[in-house]
């Protein structure tokens, strides 16, 4: 399989000589077009103003950090407010911008053109730890005076909107926080009143009374134990007195321990051990009193009968006294049992009451925390509002006012010419390479040797005759014109 023929330097030189008219023609045409474009484009002038964001005039710790918005966000918001449809249309009408296109374009298209000519660019945030930075506002127009005037208006709009937005933002924030703070204060007061009403409603079952209830219940149980002991002692005494009453009723009294000397001796012995309130001492005391009253009574003829009646009366009095004391003890027992039941019921209800109270207190504490946070934010917002009203917070300052542009910033005619030169050379070489790729004729001894496989014996150069030079030139010119017509679709 034959290998593809590789062009040599002499072949390239031959191609350049053979296609020189195409090279020169296309190169010249494209270059002339680039030069025409470079010098026919209208000049455009740009005026630029620089605005700096100054650091606050007060200490850093005084200014609420929540009010220091990101500069890019602030610039974007101000840009949206300043470059509204009405504002831009007012500037367009004021300086009669785009008067050549006012009849062929709609208002929306004119505003879009206006926005495309406005450039807002941030210059960075400076050194670390410093909040001062700057940004530029630019406008381009074919007339330098118009560019300057429009840029001045845009700078004024940005400065005015910055003051207005910051003041309105601080005022609205303060009003909003005041309203929310008042709502939370009312909620805290409502919960406080609810807690107070709940405590009044469950005054006997509050958690802080649990220890008191426990103490009262223990004391009541001790008192109940004492009363029950007295009741048991009274029952025994009552049974003893009833037995004595039965004996005395039959006139029998052979108990030597029931004599007055024996009872006094027993009272003396028990007094050394018990107090006077002891039931046994009180019973002996009553017996002694009854016997002394019986002895002091006058003696009649029916002495034995009187003694018997006296003993029965004495014992019956003792029984009545014991029964009265038993009734009193029974009432005390019932009262103590009711008190113990009441304390037990209160202690059972206390956990449920404590749970409801904890829920109310938790809601009150949550509302109180929110109220404290809003109150702090409200104070910060008021500080920010005062700073804005006194112009002591971060503020926009015109660092470099727009100046009348002396030179157009576009078009860059040198770049256009350089680009046209490159395109002209590339177009000419591209057309030549295209013509060579579609030309299948064999040219040169080396190409012929590669095609035939052996070198020719003799190489005879082409000898033009008279009259062929003009014909050849006309042919090349026709080919160039035909190629240009095909390229530009003429």
**SS3 per residue for 13-27:** HHHHHHCHHHHHHHH
CB neighbours of 377 closer than 8 A, spacing ≥ 6?
66, 177
CB 297 within 8 A of CB 311: no
pLDDT at 390 over 70: no
Residue 64 pLDDT level (bands cut at 50, 70, 90): very low
Distance in angstroms between the alpha carbons of the first and the last residue of the chain: 45
* Residue environment code for 375-413, b if the CB has 16+ CB neighbours within 10 A, otherwise e: bebbebbbbbbebbeeeebbbbeeeeebeebeebeebee
What are the tens digits of pLDDT across the range 268-312? 877 777 777 777 777 777 777 766 665 554 444 444 444 456 667
CB 205 within 8 A of CB 353: yes
Domain 40-179+380-400, CATH among 3.40.30, 2.60.98, 3.40.1190, 3.30.1890? 3.30.1890
Q: At 306, which helix (H) or strand (E)?
A: helix 303-389
Residue 367 pLDDT level (bands cut at 50, 70, 90): confident
pLDDT at 130 over 50: no
pLDDT at 384 over 80: no
pLDDT at 258 over 60: no
Question: DSSP for 93-159?
Answer: HHHTTTTTTTTTS-HHHHHHHHHHHEEEEE----STT---EEEEEEEEESSHHHHHHHHHHHHHHHH
Looking at every residue in the chain, the average pLDDT score rounds to 75
| 357-367: average pLDDT | 86
CB neighbours of 375 closer than 8 A, spacing ≥ 6?
181
CB 39 within 8 A of CB 413: yes
What are the tens digits of pLDDT across the range 430-457? 877 887 777 666 666 666 666 666 676 7
What are the tens digits of pLDDT across the range 308-339? 566 677 778 888 888 888 888 888 888 888 88
- At residue 6, the pLDDT reads 66
Q: What is the distance between the alpha carbons of residues 121 and 46, in angstroms, rounded to a whole number?
A: 14
User: Which ranges in the chain are annotated with CATH 3.30.1890?
Assistant: 40-179+380-400
What are the tens digits of pLDDT across the range 170-200? 777 778 888 888 888 888 888 888 888 888 8
Q: Between these two residues, 238 and 143, which has the higher pLDDT value?
A: 143
Q: What is the distance between the alpha carbons of residues 367 and 187, in angstroms, rounded to a whole number?
A: 7
CB neighbours of 134 closer than 8 A, spacing ≥ 6?
50, 51, 52, 53, 122, 123, 399
Look-up of token digits 């070198």 = 455
- At residue 304, the pLDDT reads 43
| 345-368: average pLDDT | 83
CB 282 within 8 A of CB 299: no
């Amino acid at each position: 399989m034959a290998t593809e023929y590789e062009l040599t330097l002499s072949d390239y030189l031959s191609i350049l000589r053979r296609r020189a008219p195409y090279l020169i023609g296309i190169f010249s045409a494209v270059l002339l077009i680039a030069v025409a474009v470079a010098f026919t484009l209208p000049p455009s002038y740009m005026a630029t103003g620089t605005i700096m964001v100054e650091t606050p005039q007060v200490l850093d710790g005084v200014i609420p950090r929540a009010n220091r918005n990101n500069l890019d966000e602030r610039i974007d918001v101000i840009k949206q407010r300043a470059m509204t449809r009405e504002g831009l249309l007012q500037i367009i009408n004021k300086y009669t911008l785009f008067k050549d296109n006012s009849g062929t374009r709609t208002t929306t298209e004119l505003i879009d053109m206006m926005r495309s000519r406005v450039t807002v660019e941030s210059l960075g945030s400076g050194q670390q730890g410093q909040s001062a930075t700057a940004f530029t506002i630019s406008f381009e127009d074919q007339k330098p005076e118009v560019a300057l005037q429009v840029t001045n208006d845009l700078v004024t709009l940005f400065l005015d909107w910055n003051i207005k937005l910051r003041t309105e933002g601080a005022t609205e924030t303060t009003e909003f926080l005041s309203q929310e703070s008042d709502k939370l204060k009312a909620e805290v007061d409502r919960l406080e009143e609810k807690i107070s009403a709940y405590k009044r409603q469950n005054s006997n079952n509050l958690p802080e009374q649990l220890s008191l209830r426990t103490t009262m219940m223990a004391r009541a149980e001790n008192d109940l134990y004492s009363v029950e002991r007295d009741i048991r002692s009274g029952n025994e005494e009552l049974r003893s007195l009833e037995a004595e009453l039965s004996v005395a009723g039959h006139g029998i009294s052979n108990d030597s321990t029931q004599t007055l000397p024996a009872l006094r001796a027993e009272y003396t012995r028990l007094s050394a051990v018990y107090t006077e309130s002891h039931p046994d001492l009180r019973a002996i005391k009553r017996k002694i009193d009854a016997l002394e009253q019986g002895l002091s009574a006058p003696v009649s003829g029916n002495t034995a009968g009187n003694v018997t009646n006296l003993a029965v009366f004495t014992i019956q009095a003792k029984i009545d006294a014991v029964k009265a004391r038993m009734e009193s003890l029974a009432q005390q027992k019932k009262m103590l049992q009711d008190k113990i039941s009441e304390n037990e019921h209160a202690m059972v209800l206390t956990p449920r009451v404590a749970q409801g109270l904890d829920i109310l207190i938790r809601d009150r504490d949550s509302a109180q925390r929110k109220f404290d946070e809003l109150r702090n934010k409200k104070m910060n917002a008021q500080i920010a509002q005062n700073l804005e009203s006194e112009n002591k917070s971060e503020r926009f300052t015109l660092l470099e006012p727009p100046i009348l542009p002396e030179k157009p910033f576009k078009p860059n005619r040198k770049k256009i010419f350089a680009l046209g030169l490159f395109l002209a050379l590339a177009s000419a070489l591209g057309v030549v390479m295209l013509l060579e790729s579609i030309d299948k004729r064999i040219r040169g001894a080396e190409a012929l040797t590669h095609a035939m496989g052996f070198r020719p014996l003799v190489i005879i150069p082409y000898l033009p005759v008279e009259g062929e030079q003009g014909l050849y030139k006309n042919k090349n010119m026709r080919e160039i014109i035909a190629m240009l017509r095909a390229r530009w679709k003429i």
